[in-house]
Amino acid sequence: MILRLRSLLRKAPLGLADIDLNDIIRETVDLLAAIAVARGVELRSSISGVPLPIRGDRIQLQQVTTNLIMNAMDAVSDLPSAERSITLSTARNGSVAELSISDVGPGIPPDKLHDIFTPFFSTKENGMGMGLSITRTIIEAHNGKIIAENQPNGGAVFRVRLSLTS
């Protein structure tokens, strides 16, 4: 993972392959399931019933998903354990595959929404401010887009959009 991240930052070519975004999400959820249990967080998945074929670097996209899920776990950590939940969903939207990761935490301070992808900016007390910046860099290297929004009923949602190959 570190070698691929260094390659990305040096603008080296990605290790692109034809992959299904649904598979990446399932693999990442499986990988993080034990951490979620240990932190008292319920991971809910609503994976599209149709394949979402994209061209991408599997490990980098797993890193994106891992970072977004871990951030969501941090966001709900102060809630009672019965309320800690994160929902991951995938969908086909025209020629785009969309991944949404939403939490029920406090959301992102509205005055900070425009800064969260900026390097070294963090809303966490001990955060380095690199995770979301790297996440955006990876998504943009895949010719995709990532946005963050606050949900009307509380919590935040991050949406990743990547072009479908078919």
How high is the pLDDT of residue 118?
A: 85
> Rounded to whole angstroms, how far apart are CA atoms 32 and 117?
23
128-137: which pairs have CB atoms within 8 A and are 24 or more residues apart?
A: 131/67, 131/70, 131/71, 132/67, 132/71, 134/5, 134/63, 134/67, 135/63, 135/64, 135/67, 135/68, 137/8, 137/9
Across the 166 residues of the chain, what is the mean pLDDT of every consecutive 10-residue run?
A: 52 78 97 97 97 95 96 96 96 97 95 85 66 92 96 96 96
Note the pLDDT of residue 1.
47
Domain 19-163 - what CATH class?
Answer: alpha beta
- Give domain limits for the chain: 19-163
DSSP string, 76-132: HTTS-GGG-EEEEEEEEETTEEEEEEEE-S----GGGGGGTTSTT--SSTT--S-HH
Helices 2-9, 58-76: inter-axial angle, 10-degree rounding: 100
| Predicted pLDDT of residue 12 | 54
pLDDT on residue 6? 54
Q: Are 44 and 155 in contact (CB under 8 A)?
A: no
- Rounded to 5 degrees, what are φ and ψ at 103? -130, 175
Check if the beta carbon of residue 59 is closer than 8 Å to that of residue 7: no
